[in-house]
Amino acid sequence: MPRYDGPIIDTHHHIWRRADVSWLQEPPVPRMFGDYFGLRRDYPVEEWINDIVPEGVNKSVHVTAMWGPGRELDETRWLQKTADKHGFPHGIVVNANLADPNVGAQLAEQKKFKNVRGVRNMLYWDKDPLRQAQAKPDHCNSAEFRRGFALLEKLDLHFELQIFAGQAAHAVKLIEAFPRVRMILVHAGMLTDRSQAAINEWRDAVKLISAHPNVHVKLSGIGMFSQGVTKGQVRQVVRDCIQLFGVERTIYGSNFPLEKLHASYKDFLDAYREALSEYPLPDQKRIFHDNAMSFYRL
């Protein structure tokens, strides 16, 4: 089938000034995605636009670059000013510690920015200390976290769910407790390696989560743990996600500039275009564009 060549919405990217982002400062520390020397610089909106516009991306959603505790509103304020001036990003996903007893007031302030759409509070955890955003795998089911999470429905904000496969059962308890909160599984569920055992565990986890209609899946960050992507790798993740979530709940995202460590935007997107070319053009358009328009209300 032909490749889709219409407008694209990238639902997962970052821009930043290095001076604002705590994890880009000196000294560098080990990260779960490997060597990030090439990221330890400014990545301004002008460079982002130069990367994406030639490839047909005409709208984008910025997911928090994690400026650090206490600076959540500063990041959103800067992003909104950037969007007002340059047109990008069209949607903003903010950072919030939902277990913070004062998170209600913080989210109320975040909602005042017109491009704010949702919240990311990273939940991922496994045995490797480099892969622990929280102190325990079931943080999402603590009373403190759930108290804050309940505010998302009241404020009409969605949640970006970022977990490892081993946490799927914990995540399902959260999803079942909040069926009216829209969620999206970030980085396609974070498949950590290419062994058959890892793929099987990941597939089982994604299947559990996909059974819940309030959850979408985002085809972003596929190369996070492999330092780049191959077309076969993208094809496997894309096909499995579509089979489990259906075309209607599958959304494209890149995770740039992290992916820029290993590929240009053109090279990165080409792997997705090829994998999705196996599907009818209307389905490709849903995944590259239409589903994002609806989910992120762009």
Q: In what order do the strands lie in the sheet with 91-95?
A: 8-13, 57-63, 91-95, 116-120, 158-161, 183-185, 215-219, 250-252
> Domain 8-295, what fold?
TIM Barrel (3.20.20)
Distance in angstroms (rounded) separating the CA atoms of residues 138 and 8: 35
> 10 Å Cβ neighbour count for 30?
9
How does pLDDT run across 32-79, given as a tens digit for each residue?
676 778 789 999 999 999 999 999 999 999 999 999 899 999 999 999
CA dihedral 33, 158, 98, 24 (to 10 degrees): 30
pLDDT of residue 34: 67
User: Are 119 and 157 within 8 A, CB to CB?
Assistant: yes
Domain ranges of the chain: 8-295
DSSP 211: T
Q: Are strands 91-95 and 8-13 parallel, antiparallel or unpaired?
A: unpaired
Positions in the chain short of pLDDT 70: 32, 34
Is 91 in contact with 117 (CB distance < 8 Å)?
yes
pTM: predicted TM-score of the whole model, two decimal places: 0.96
In this prediction, residue 39 carries a pLDDT of 87
Return d(Cα 59, Cα 298) in angstroms, integer: 8
Q: 39 with 24: CB under 8 angstroms?
A: yes
CB of 113 closer than 8 Å to CB of 92: yes
d(CA 115, CA 298): 9
Say which residues have a Cβ less than 8 Å from residue 44's Cβ, sequence separation at least 6. 15, 17
94 close to 64: Cβ distance less than 8 angstroms: yes
Q: What confidence tens digit (pLDDT) does each residue in 243-258 have?
A: 999 999 999 999 999 9
